[in-house]
Structure 1
Amino acid sequence: MPKSEGKPRTRLDLADNAKKASIEVLQGVLTDSIDLYNSTRQAHWNVKGPQFHSLHTLFETFYTQMETDIDEIAERLVQLGGTAMGTSQSVAGGTRLAPYPAGIRQGSEHLHALLERYCAAARTVREGIDATDEAGDADTADLLTGVSRNLDKAVWMMEATAEG
């Protein structure tokens, strides 16, 4: 939560500590999700090789789903009284994901790079589920559970593709 904010301003009947905990978790997930979205777009635009068409299409499926998830995450954060920080500067300064290697081209390289980042994002989302549930915010935990399922599905699809 940005330092300029104090007590979350909303009439939702969650305890202030639950709102603050969820805002913090959601901001971290939002930042990572925007970074992952951008990395997936990078892969989509630049993939080359014999699997070009299938990977190009697969990556588009992933970033399209992520766009919906990002919007839900940001809106929940604001519902709780926070400010969704999604500028390029805030994402670059706050992401917990490793930088995406800009020079790769081959499909297998993109699969490996994305798998590493999707797995890292999935891990922090699961941690966020536990943290928001423990704080007493079942709705945010539920939202993050859906995000987790989407990340896990993407990991499964990339692993199945990489196996061949």
Structure 2
Amino acid sequence: MTHTDGSRKRHAATGRFGRRSRDELLGLRTKLDNTDSMQKNVTRHESDRLSALGGYGVRKRGLQLVFFDGQTPDERTALRRGVKEQTIAALDRVTSVAAESDVEADDIMRTTVYLTKMDRLPEVESAYEEFFDGRRPSMTVVGVGALPNDADVQIEATGVDR
């Protein structure tokens, strides 16, 4: 590192000037990863990236993440029903699309709910409890101005293919 006065700072870990090499960093990461033999998850870090195609995130070995596009209720339901009914209809569509990919409802791990009326969140939560019968996926709710079909709810999901 060079300071404004032109002097350079010695790296505390290596005792040298400048940064560690990529090989040193990867060697340290491997050493750290090998110290925990109980680790059940594979974690990829941005510093491990060796190609632009590498993925990042945590998942159990042998599982494949499956991403599903946002689903809205049909236009008739969107125009004539409340938020709870729209949520159930959107969840029905999500599980139908998931089933086409051989992903069961229990294998849906995460959802993002886009909601036009944030004050109606209790209705969405009630619909989730009813639909998933106690074991629901994690849920993130995002407030939006408008959705397709004039719906109040759109749901996208991530599941695992076992």
TM-score range, shorter chain: under 0.3
Q: Higher strand fraction: Structure 1 or Structure 2?
A: 2
Q: Higher helix fraction: Structure 1 or Structure 2?
A: 1
TM-score scaled to structure 2, two decimals? Answer: 0.26
With a CA cutoff of 8 Å and minimum separation of 6, indicate the structure with the bigger relative contact order.
1
